[in-house]
A and B are shown apart, each in its own frame.
Chain A
Amino acid sequence: MTDSPAGSRHSTTEFRASRRTFAWILGLLIAVHSFLVLLWVAPVNPMRDAVGNERLTTYINKGHFEQSWSVFAPTPRRLSDTIRLRALVKDPKTGQVSRTEWVDVTALVTRKIKYDITPPRVEEATRRLGSRINAAMFKFNQDQKLLVQGSYITTSTDELAKAMLAAKGTGAGDVAEINAYILYDEMLTRFASMYTEATFGGKVTQIQYKVGYQAVPPYAQRNTVKVSDVRVTNWDFGWRKAIPGTKDAQRAFDGYVEGLEE
């Protein structure tokens, strides 16, 4: 961070008191900003509580300074998330509804990104959705896990959220986890609706997803077992009413699926 030894064209000797005062005031503002960013990125601490989490969040987000550096820490990610999709598709000519086979989307993505060190970020889509849903499922109790296995075709998933909240017991998934699940359920339903329509054609009326994970083998087994050798542990979910996209959106999915299946 040192400057050119010869000085630059910006060199000046105008050091009047008013200018120095300006520099100090501006410097103070930068110091306050830097302190707030420090509080934001640091692990939870009493100083952050003193400033107030809501106030800090507002400043950081509105100022475009959102960031988090607990990447792969304290515990690195150890689960490989998987997603499979299937759909009920209505033939537009005959009106006949048929159930498709499961598509292992994450397996297709894995094949696609091999040897690509600059993968497009859409290839992260299903894994991220899987990771978020897996995280929520780990927090749910047995009753809540059973509830998500129900189908929500004519009933909104808001009803599912209410039922899950009612089933909340001690130590089970709380409001935040339930809301997170409902959010990612909708995103995955939207994704699956367009994805399966691009894959199978016709009009998708309902979709079903299966989210699972494979745990990375322990370090001691690193040279003998690969994560792909580990059995997938799946969570079951019921059918969801399809949420179709616009024509432009469906066209984007058509192109994406075509690229994956090449």
Chain B
Amino acid sequence: MTVIREPDLATRGAEEPAVPQSRPSNSVTNRLLDDAVEQVSRFEAWFLHDKRALHGLSLSRILAGFAVLGMLVTNFSYRSITFGAGSSWMQPIQQGTAFFETKLVENLGATAFTLFYLLAMLLAVLYIVGWRTKIVGPLMLIGWIAIIESGAFLGDQGDNVLRVGLILIMFAETSEHWSFDARRRRKAAAQASGSGPANLLHNIRHSRALLPAWFSNTVHNLALVALAFQLVLIYISAGMFKTQGPLWQHGTALYYPLQLPQYEPIPWLTDLFTHYGVVVGISTYMAVFIQLFFAPLLLNRITRRIALTFVILLHLGIAVLMALPWFSLAMVAFDAIFVSASTYIAMERWLGPRLDPVKTLFWDVTDPIVDRLPFGSRSR
């Protein structure tokens, strides 16, 4: 295999993955081999060279954090009957759970369970704002699984997508943008400008990398690819199951679940939606086709934007018409990885100046608090 030489990279610039030097070609076989080696090297470089989709994953962190927080907040008033001591009516199912995290809460009294619940909510808030994300993230995930899976009988597929997605992004860098960790890194870089010892504690304090870049890049990018594959699987399998059903083929399937009281939170809106057959038909077919062809549509910049727009509209519809907001938010959260960095940068450029007053106020309020937290930039 051809070894990539560093001078090549230096002259090519950081944005271009390195390609191998071509060997002299004197036959079709050699040229094909050279091409194959080049493709493999590009493939390897994509994984090793840099962390991908950092903007998308940062947005995934924020939205998934909101989904976790939303679930916890909306069930807070009924936390005991749903997940705590009052959920003993679900005992026959709880006994067979595969989630060891539920052991953390199964014997807690009412007060201790409430404290655990509040702690999970606090962790979700910290995860959203990206404070010590690498530590807070796994703790939030464990706490959330412990609570949610104690009432698994009442769960939905939103729990599953959120859990699987969160597990995968725990291996990725999700605090690169729009986080306290990113701000801490920027401030530390500006103050130190390269001086100071680069030991482990120093790196932890300033949210700097602890592992070699080649290692963390590989893990990050593989987690990203696994998440992308997982999402594509969800859409394709959901689409495949739908194509098997006569009601989906007839374009009337969406009408039926929308009539059920639990999926009809706003009756007049549902009536408006189902009144015209054309609307029901187009929506039913769009739901099938956008899921079935989600993966190929991602391959082109234009069709990707169309696919993502329709997927967001689909989930917005599910959230409002069917009262399933946290499932929808979880799906949209992870779909954020499919939006290109250039789109996020363009959005930041447009939004940034407009949000400056809000940002300034936010940092003015939060900086003094964050600096005093354990491992804050003032703690030494």
Contacts and interface: CB of A to CB of B under 8 A. Distances in A.
Interface of A: 1-8, 10-15, 17, 19-20, 22-24, 26-27, 30, 33-34, 37-38, 41-43, 61-62, 64-80, 106, 109-110, 113-125, 127-128, 183, 186-187, 190-191, 194, 216-217, 219, 222-223, 226-228, 245-246, 248-253, 255-256, 259
Interface stretch (B124-132, B207-215, B359-367, B368-376): B207-215
Contacts of A187: 89-93, 153
A189 B261 CA distance: 23
Contacts of B9: 13
A255 B15 CA distance: 59
B341 A67 contact: no
B312 interface: no
A121 B44 contact: no
B230 interface: yes
B53 A2 contact: yes
Nearest to B160: A67
Nearest to A61: B98
Nearest to B321: A117
Nearest to A34: B229
Contact of B244 (A43, A65, A194): A43
A19 B48 contact: yes
B74 A119 contact: yes
A75 B245 contact: yes
Given A80-B261, A251-B80, A64 B164 contact: yes
Main secondary structure of the interface of B (DSSP, over half): helix
A259 B217 contact: no
A8, A116, A194, A226: most-surrounded residue (chain B CB, <10 A): A8
Contacts of B345: 4
B50 A3 contact: yes
A14 B218 contact: no
A15 B109 contact: no
A158 to B, nearest CB: 13
B77 A26 contact: no
Contacts of B338: 1
A66 B85 contact: no
Given A67-B160, A74-B242, A110 B261 contact: yes
A60 B227 CA distance: 15
Given A66-B160, A69-B241, A187-B92, A12 B213 contact: yes
A77 B259 CA distance: 10
A248 B157 contact: no
A190 to B, nearest CB: 4
A76 B92 contact: no
B15 A7 contact: yes
Given A75-B245, A114-B267, A17 B3 contact: yes
Contacts of A249: 80-81, 85-89
Given A22-B218, A68-B157, A123-B262, A219 B234 contact: no
Given A3-B53, A113-B323, A125-B154, A248 B230 contact: no
Contacts of A6: 14-15
Contacts of A73: 238, 241-242, 244-245, 248, 253
Given A72-B253, A253-B81, A12 B56 contact: no
Contacts of A259: 77-78
Contacts of A1: 52-53, 56, 224, 228, 337-338, 340
B295 interface: no
A71 B327 CA distance: 12
Contact of A118 (B90, B92, B241, B323): B323
B6 A34 contact: no
Contacts of B52: 1-3
A10 B173 contact: yes
Interface string B152-176: 0111110011011001000001001
